Amino acid sequence: MTGDYDLSKNDDGGHELFDNYREMAVSNGVSPDDERLELCRDDTAFT
């Protein structure tokens, strides 16, 4: 085992993914104005 990760084997399983953490959190029930989301960077997509 080398610790390398083959990104070509990574798959979303056909599920639609969220554009950013805030969108994911709100979709899962966190209020859009929740103070825990204040520091979220909306311009950062999951990669």
Q: 42 vs 11, 16, 29, CA distance in Å?
A: 23, 18, 17
Contacts of 36 (CB under 8 A, 6+ apart): 25, 30
The pLDDT, as a whole number, for residue 44 is 57
| Residue ranges of domains in the chain | 18-47
Model confidence, pTM: 0.57
CA dihedral sign, ordered 7, 9, 12, 14: positive
* Mean pLDDT score, 8-37: 88
Q: How does pLDDT run across 27-40, given as a tens digit for each residue?
A: 999 999 999 998 88
Mean pLDDT taken over the chain: 82
User: Can you tell me the distance from the alpha carbon of 22 to that of 42, in angstroms, rounded to the nearest whole number?
Assistant: 7
- Per the model's pLDDT, the better-predicted residue between 32 and 12 turns out to be 32
The pLDDT, as a whole number, for residue 27 is 93
- Per the model's pLDDT, the better-predicted residue between 19 and 31 turns out to be 31
Q: How open is the CA angle 33-18-21, to the nearest 5 degrees?
A: 45
